[in-house]
Structure 1
Amino acid sequence: MNIDASTHRLYAALDQRLLVATRTINILPTVSWPASLERRMIEAYDKGDFALPQVDYLRPDLAAVRAELAAIEREAEVLLVGDPIGEFLCRTATSWRVAAEMLEAVGSAGVTAPSIALYGRPGDAIPGSDKSNLDAARYFVELSDELGADLLADTVSMDLSAEELRADLSRVLDEFFGPGRIVIEVDPELTAKAAAGATRIRLRGGAHFSEYDRHQLLAHEAFVHSLTALNGREQPLLGSLARTSPRVTATQEGLAVFAELISGAIDIARLKRISLRILAIDMALNGADFVEVYKYFRHCGQGAADSFHSAQRVFRGVPLTGGAAFAKDNVYLSGLLTVHTFFRWAFKQQRMDLLRYLFAGKLALHDVITLQPHFEAGTLLPPRWLPPWMQRVHGLAGKLAFSLFVNGIHMGQVQADELNLQL
């Protein structure tokens, strides 16, 4: 797809306006809780004092931002009709506008509906299946519980300090991306164990990490979140591909968890944690308050600190009395399942090029398909960096080919005696 210079300038101008307009939209910082509050409440909960936390939010005024985003949407619809880049810009502006509406309601139940619009709800159907995300979450929790006794021998040692892990990750990423391109920092105020941007990965100060954590950070944060952001920065036309817009969150998080899976960095306990958060979102939407959700995590085997952090993720930005939730954690499992299906579909169609394009920036699965003509024409660039597991194409192809075939074996029809080999 060839575009003339004037159209090229129009794309770039709208994209630049989009970047400028969204600079003040910071979703997670706006809904996050102070680390000092978490520390006090964890100590209290561990002693049995289950008062609801008192959380104050600073509600931003984003009226001017919303107006600019609406204008970008209109121009993209009118001036770029029929072109996938116009559709990309319009969809992206719309998702940022919904996010702005969500943040302007922070601290109220009004956060719930836009967060569901952006991230989905637990009962949403899984593409290509009659099961829902909630069904999948229940399955992985039950499977983890059933396997738990057999997996006790697989002891996980939390013997890496944040500083030790920082030094180790810095060495690995300097070798992969080039010296100093990604900075690893220890942040004592970080509520999550880790967070990644294009050029910075933060680790929670005082936390201890296992080898599983290390592998997950590399596969998930560095080789997906940071990598796609850096590749997005290489794009000469659409600078917005360097930033995760709300509409691509499900694909980005799903791709990151898929990277854990395909590289052997995920364990059953991790799948259980992801799944429990989806069940907790469903509980909160159905009226459970913060304390009830916290106790649910404790009942499911998590420690006091992990239970508090997990419950906090569900109630970010919303009242703690029940009936409301911040739905972002819904995307990890649903995104994983959808991305896994997309990889298998692309392999079956012999379209490995689409899988590579997925790493060219912060894209949704829909974008990879619709923007394909612009990749082929050179308007959009292929990724400069690919994760290590994507560079080993034969190994990836073997895993996908195997999963395609075994997916046709229905376990409900397998009889135990059929598996006995006769010598």
Structure 2
Amino acid sequence: MPALRAAVVNVAIDPELQRYAALDQRLLAAVRGIHILSTVAWPASLENRMIEAYGQGRFSLPAVSYQVPELAAARAELAAIEAAAVEVGAGDPLGEYLRRTAESWQVAAQMLEAVGTAGVTAPSIALYGKPDDRIPGSQRSNLDAARYFVELSDELGADLLADDGGGIDAEVLRAALAETLDVFFGDDMIRVEVDPELTAKAAAGATRIRLRGGVSFSQYDHHQLLAHEAFVHSLTALNGRRQPLLASLGRTSPRVTATQEGLAVFAELISGAIDIARLKRISLRIVAIDMALGGADFVEVYRYFHARGQSVADSFHSAQRVFRGVPPGGGAVFAKDNVYLSGLLTVHTFFRWALRQRRLDLLRYLFAGKLALHDVISLQPHFASGAILPPRWLPPWMQHVHGLAGKLAFSVFINGIHMDRVREDDLLPGA
């Protein structure tokens, strides 16, 4: 295990592939100064002041200032890398992978250079999609799915069913997570820290998971953090860092965000770590993005969350996620939260498709690094040749492939039962 901590495995790269490895290293160097979430983040001190004011019924639009990054040089280098990938990689999926990745980082750079303005909206939608995008294999949209889950959760009493877990202190949870991760990955492979400035409740990288200080966590939070942050986000980053050919597989590029977040929420679902209240939260955010695009301002979006059962602090943080990096007056959004539900639906469909095709190997490839679904399919020849390594670590639920196949097979069949055709008498014994 300690030998793996150096990240990259000592595997000889085919001389024919060296050109891709060189371009990949240029790509990593070019994007070193591009940091999406930290650029659009709000200071915790501002949030705390405004949450207190909102709790007292004093509403005003947040006044947030942002540091606009200078990314012209990065964009120029990314454009050159994209052109080189087209020239060098004609007909090879490695060239297409590099082209797509460089292109997505250019869009992200343009988005960040517009931070603080409505100009963030269009590139963020290009990267993360929008609520009325269609779900693959369906005539319904992401927004339709969000409204369905909100309605269903209200019918089931999601707020009453939510597990409060007795309120686990962040430091207590930090210690519990660290112990589990040391056993799974090896001692000190992943640090767990409490960060009072963190906007999200948790965030994960390859070697560090941060928890927001000053909040309490539930047992469901504990299970979700393991399934979502540790066994997907950190795990795929660590596997990606071991790749000898494409080192960029260790970093989340903008174009893979939907797959990575969808896979993480799918992991919650398949491992039993998600509850209906969680589905409601990610669905409400999509409705809120749609509201903001339609002109709703920050206060109106906050009130929407609060009216649907969220606390003052949670409602503020939920609205803040929609308005990161954009003016709070309505009509502009940071669209990243669109990917959680749309990604879940797409990844779930991919898992079912792979089962139908009897290609469980494709599902394992998903964990070899920070990949999009498109990459898993297009890069198959390079997985087969060994140029791209299989994952060193798999989530616990992926290690029991027969159990996973059983769950997916059941879902494939049960999906053919139309609930609008089921009568109560059909469910009664002897009917």
- Superposition TM-score tier, normalisation by shorter sequence: over 0.9
The aligned counterpart of 1:177 is: 185
Distance in 2, Cα, partners of 1:154 & 1:55: 33
Q: Deviations over 1:2-36 (max 9, x none)?
A: x9844321011100000000010000000000000
User: Displacement of 1:206 after TM fit?
Assistant: 1.2
- Taking structure 2 as the reference length, the TM-score comes to 0.96
The aligned counterpart of 2:92 is: 83
Distance in 2, Cα, partners of 1:378 & 1:191: 40
The aligned counterpart of 1:230 is: 238
- Equivalent of 2:168 in 147, 151, 160: 160
SS in 1 for 2:358: coil
Map 1:238-317 to 2 at 5 A. 238-317=246-325
Q: Deviations over 1:37-74 (max 9, x none)?
A: 00000000000110111100000110000000000000
The aligned counterpart of 2:7 is: none
Q: Name the Cα RMSD after superposition.
A: 1.2
Query: Does the CA contact (< 8 Å) of 2:70 and 2:113 recur in 1?
Result: yes
Distance in 2, Cα, partners of 1:280 & 1:227: 31
Distance in 2, Cα, partners of 1:287 & 1:18: 37
Q: Deviations over 1:78-99 (max 9, x none)?
A: 1111000000000000000000
Q: Does 2:213 match 1:205?
A: yes
Check 1:109–1:155 CA distance in 2 against 1; reply closer, same or farther (3 A cut). Answer: closer
- Equivalent of 1:357 in 343, 365, 371: 365
The aligned counterpart of 2:8 is: none
User: Displacement of 1:421 after TM fit?
Assistant: 1.4
- Taking structure 1 as the reference length, the TM-score comes to 0.98
- Equivalent of 1:61 in 55, 63, 70: 70
Q: Does 2:38 match 1:32?
A: no
The aligned counterpart of 1:100 is: 109
Q: Does 2:21 match 1:7?
A: no
SS in 1 for 2:156: helix
The aligned counterpart of 1:137 is: 146
Distance in 2, Cα, partners of 1:222 & 1:7: 35
The aligned counterpart of 2:155 is: 146
The aligned counterpart of 1:341 is: 349
Distance in 2, Cα, partners of 1:305 & 1:323: 23
Distance in 1, Cα, partners of 2:179 & 2:369: 24
The count of corresponding residues between Structure 1 and Structure 2 is 420
Distance in 2, Cα, partners of 1:232 & 1:420: 52
User: Displacement of 1:155 after TM fit?
Assistant: 4.7
User: Displacement of 1:415 after TM fit?
Assistant: 1.6
Distance in 2, Cα, partners of 1:126 & 1:314: 21
User: Displacement of 1:419 after TM fit?
Assistant: 1.5
User: Displacement of 1:207 after TM fit?
Assistant: 1.1
User: Displacement of 1:156 after TM fit?
Assistant: 2.3
Structure 1 letter corresponding to 2:179: R
Structure 1 letter corresponding to 2:19: L
SS in 2 for 1:124: coil
Distance in 1, Cα, partners of 2:426 & 2:302: 45
The aligned counterpart of 2:127 is: 118
Q: Does 2:384 match 1:376?
A: yes
Distance in 2, Cα, partners of 1:301 & 1:4: 55
Q: Does 2:403 match 1:399?
A: no
Q: Mind listing any 5+ residue stretches in structure 1 that lack a counterpart? A: none
SS in 2 for 1:244: coil
User: Displacement of 1:354 after TM fit?
Assistant: 0.1
Q: Deviations over 1:209-243 (max 9, x none)?
A: 11000000000000000000000001000000000
Distance in 2, Cα, partners of 1:321 & 1:82: 47
Query: Does the CA contact (< 8 Å) of 2:163 and 2:219 recur in 1?
Result: no
Distance in 2, Cα, partners of 1:145 & 1:190: 30
SS in 2 for 1:184: strand
Q: Does 2:14 match 1:20?
A: no
Greater alpha carbon shift after TM alignment, 140-149 vs 52-61: 140-149
Percent of aligned positions that are identical: 75
SS in 2 for 1:152: helix
User: Displacement of 1:152 after TM fit?
Assistant: 3.0
User: Displacement of 1:191 after TM fit?
Assistant: 1.1
Structure 1 letter corresponding to 2:195: D
The aligned counterpart of 2:55 is: 46
